[in-house]
Amino acid sequence: MDSQTAERSAQLPQLAEPRNPGMDLDLDWVAAVQANTSAIERRCATLPGRRSVKKDHQAAWLLKAISLIDLTTLSGDDTEGRVRRLCAKARQPVSAGLLRNLDMEGLTTGAVCVYHDMIPTAVKALEGTGIPVAAVSTGFPAGLSPFHLRVAEIEESVKDGAEEIDIVITRRHVLQGNWQALYDEMKAFRQACGDAHVKAILATGELGSLRNVARASLVCMMAGADFIKTSTGKESVNATLPVSLVMIRAIRDYYDHTGYRVGYKPAGGISKAKDALVYLALMKDELGDRWLQPDLFRFGASSLLNDIERQLEHHVTGAYSAGYRHAMG
């Protein structure tokens, strides 16, 4: 992708893609899934050096990354004021002067992600922008509240205006190999979402092995997940390149088998612009340019935007600005 192509693609509206309707649980397919850890780690180790981009090309890729960010605040001390400031940043993620210098207009983040209580505030703050509000749900982050309450929480969030729901799966279903239970749970969550798109958070740092990650990814897609997502951001280990490669290849296999594209969202621990570039290169290599649009790829991050803005300012002015000049609020 050259710099002009990347700049144009950062401004494209969300494309119309048929939703993944899911399929019957295929336990033979699930059982056949394996993961060669050493080969996966070798592949990932080659990425940072092999896909280096510089100057105008790097700036174009970073602008693309901004359009893919789910700008997120998930703290116990969230307030309406903080969420409104976050939404203002989503509407104008980079200073207008900097965007003019980069010959870029209309750039926004992919979504704003909040807890249920903050949905009405975010919806009002983003009215007329086309930026969707995503809500974490189903007893986030542990996912251990009573099942009927997790389903009800999804329904309440959709009712309040959330267009995307990030659900957490029950990890013990994966650890015990109870794929039917995971499938039934995910299918119920998808049904409760209605027209809202559902992102299935696997909490990969708690699943024990890359093989479990691969199998859980496949089962969630079979049950109708629109996205599969690495982490809540609250685990001790969040998004990593090996986990991402496993999940991305599961997405590719599912697409080859069904013809339906499922999105991918790495979340937690991605805070540097250089890391975002590596993830974009991985997506392009493994899935192609179609998966570099907001309807199929998101970063779950907030601090990432700060570093990207600093790198873009350095590209334009030749000097790094102080981090506090690019705060979320």
Q: Which of 70, 166, 275, 295 is catalytic?
A: 166
Give yes or no: 234 in active site. Answer: no
The answer to whether residues 245 and 210 touch, using CB atoms and an 8 Å cutoff, is no
How far is 186 from 184, CA to CA, in rounded Å? 6
Q: Which residues pair with 72 in a beta bridge?
A: 113
The sheet that has 299-301: what strands, in order across it? 263-265, 227-229, 197-201, 164-168, 133-136, 111-114, 69-72, 299-301
Angle between helices 147-159 and 179-193 (to 10 degrees): 30
Of 199, 229, 295, 307, the catalytic one is 229
Q: What is the DSSP string of 240-293?
A: -HHHHHHHHHHHHHHHHHHS---EEE-BSS--SHHHHHHHHHHHHHHH-GGGGS
Which long-range contacts link 308-314 to residues 24+ away (Cβ below 8 Å)?
A: 308/62, 308/65, 308/66, 308/273, 308/276, 309/93, 309/94, 309/95, 309/98, 310/273, 311/58, 311/59, 311/62, 311/273, 312/59, 312/62, 312/63, 312/94, 312/98, 312/102, 313/98
Q: How far apart are CA 324 and CA 276, in angstroms?
A: 21
Active site residue 229: yes
The first and second tokens of residue 204, run together, are 């990969």
* Cα–Cα nearest to 304, from 251, 256, 268: 268
List Cα–Cα distances, 158 to 18, 119, 143, 227, in angstroms: 20, 9, 18, 17
**Residue of 265, 275, 295, 307 marked catalytic:** 265
- Per the annotation, the verdict on 166 as an active-site residue is yes
Q: Catalytic site residues?
A: 166, 229, 265
